[in-house]
A and B are shown apart, each in its own frame.
Chain A
Amino acid sequence: MGMSLQQIVFGVLSIISIISALGVILSKNPVTSVLCLIVTFFTIAGHYIMLNAQFLAVVHIIVYAGAIMVLFLFVIMLMNLNAEIEPQKRNWLKYAGAISGGALLLVLLGALREADVTPLQPGSTDIGLISNLGKTLFSQYVVPFEVSSILFLSAMVGAVVIGKREA
């Protein structure tokens, strides 16, 4: 057998992530869609661990699976969506969606086919560890980091303003 353990894990993770991603769009029940998306996030976190980015993996789980998906679930549960009350979509809309999605896939394939993938630091295994990440974020990328935090702050203030107006 010419496959290393890493390749086997990669293959299994990829298959699960593709199946669960298909489950998100093919499932009729929105709650099942959300659960499939959570499984997809887990497999992507697994890919991050394979790339030695443990911090990214665990933050991905905390933020996406632990927080954002809980809010999705909240909204879906409160709206009580189900198959009976869902409005019928027209067929041409489905075809349009499939064609435009397929076109995007083609463009992405075309763009990435020729791209050369070079590892940032060949042979380094601790690039994704939290101390290295922190040092890079707060020295080399400190301005973008702070700008993005201001962006989040403005989003929070916006949410509070919208919430206050209702009350």
Chain B
Amino acid sequence: MTIDWFFILEKIVLISGVLAISLVVAMYSTWGERKVAGIIQDRIGPNRAGFMGLLQPLADGGKLFFKEEIIPGNSNRFLFILGPSLAMIVACMTSAVIPWGDTLTIAGHTVSLQIADVNIGILYIFGVVSLGVYGIMLGGWASNNKYSLLASIRAASQIISYELAMGLSLIALLMMTGTLSLKEIVEQQRHDGWNVLYQPLGFLIFLVCSFAECNRTPFDLAEAESELNGGYHLEYSSMKLGFYLFAEYINMFISSALMSSLYFGGYSFPGMDSLGLAPNLVTILGTAALFIKIICFLFFFMWVRWTIPRFRYDQLMRLGWNIMIPLALANMLITGAIVLYRSTH
């Protein structure tokens, strides 16, 4: 058996590239968040470190690394460290099935800009998302602090509740596209137009659930500092705290990429096939288009955070169970009826 070294090299480069880009985007999302907050609140935002404060994330990261690391005496040491590690690992895992672009042709080899085109891509994302809750739960419990425990239980029940509506909204999309592979879903949109046109309600439900899954305002009940002194990461310091905060930004980046791929055409853009440019150039333009879509979503996440106040916990649960799930079920039923009607006529 000969080992395809080019293939292995290609995957290693791709995995490192995607990881590095995720981390850099997450890093600059913290800068972006503070700039957006500044603009919305009529302030300037960070402007000391470097040009327009662009070195601020580096300064923050350095600060977190050099802070004193404290592990509470009564905590479970192993689980206390496992919590933020899991949060970070799970946040990075989803990027494996997202198609970051079409194929490039390098020296006769066709390189797909997707780490793994598995035929159960969307289910893989669900598996990873459903594991994301462990990092929060373990961290909150291992801290041995009532506030942390309360916050982690809040976060876990919120994530479980909104996962249902998210799954139901995706089922409607799957019935329409007939595939679980993200690459195929993007390719279909390249020819038939963006899915958001056919699934507006499904997209809206998915968007709201993404906010809940990322623990972002207005669903950041797990970090309600006015009630819980901080949240599940109350006892954390130094880079372990940094990992929790950073994982939130990576999650935001990945769910933006996911929403762009599922509903907004991913790496395809209008007029992509009629430009008459070299295929490699079109692929690079497509990846750029995907990143523009992602940045728009990231901006939207931030815009909402600095505009809308936090829900009360009972309101959050009522929205999830009494409004989102019935809406998603109705959306699924209507989509199913239309798909059936189309296949018989």
Q: Which of A51-92 contact B (CB under 8 A)?
A: 54-55, 58-59, 61-62, 65-67, 70, 73-74, 77-78
Please determine whether A130 and B160 come into contact, CB atoms closer than 8 angstroms. Answer: no
User: Can you name the residue of chain B whose Cβ is closest to the Cβ of A67?
Assistant: B130
Given A70-B137, A78-B153, A130 contacting B120 (CB threshold 8 A): yes
Residues of B within 8 A of A21 (CB): none
Q: Is the interface of A mostly helix, strand, loop or mixed?
A: helix
Secondary structure class of chain B's binding surface, majority of residues: helix
Chain B hits for A66, CB < 8 A: 126-127, 129-131, 133
B239 at interface, CB cutoff 8 A: no
Quote the shortest CB–CB distance from B299 to chain A (angstroms).
30
Q: A62-B126, A70-B156, A77-B149 are in contact. Are A54 and B118 (CB under 8 A)?
A: yes
Look across to chain B and name the residue whose beta carbon is closest to the beta carbon of A77: B141
Counting chain A CB atoms within 10 Å of each CB, the highest count among B118, B130, B137, B157 belongs to B130
Q: Take A58-B124, A77-B149 as given contacts and tell me if A65 and B137 are in contact as well, using a CB distance cutoff of 8 Å.
A: no
Chain B residues near A54 (CB-CB < 8 A): 118-120
User: In angstroms, how far is the closest chain B Cβ from the Cβ of A150?
Assistant: 17
Taking the complex as formed, is B311 at the interface, i.e. its CB lies under 8 A from any CB of chain A? Answer: no
Bound CA span A29–B130, Å: 24
Checking B76, B119, B131, B157 against A65 with a beta-carbon cut-off of 8 angstroms, the contacting residue is: B131
Count of chain A to chain B residue pairs whose CB atoms are closer than 8 Å in the complex: 59
For residue A73, which residue of chain B has the nearest CB?
A: B137
Question: Which of B127, B133, B134, B138 contacts A58 (CB under 8 A)?
Answer: B127
A138 to chain B, nearest CB (A): 13
B133-171, CB under 8 A of A: which get 1 and which 0? 110011001000000010011001100100000000000
Let me know if B87 is at the binding interface, CB within 8 A.
no
Q: Give the nearest-CB partner of A66 in chain B.
A: B130
Q: Is A62 in contact with B123, judged by CB distance below 8 angstroms?
A: yes
Interface residues of A in 1-42 (CB under 8 A from B): 29, 31, 38
Residue of B nearest to A61 (CB): B127
Report B's interface with A, CB cutoff 8 A.
76, 79, 118-120, 123-124, 126-127, 129-131, 133-134, 137-138, 141, 149, 152-153, 156-157, 160, 180
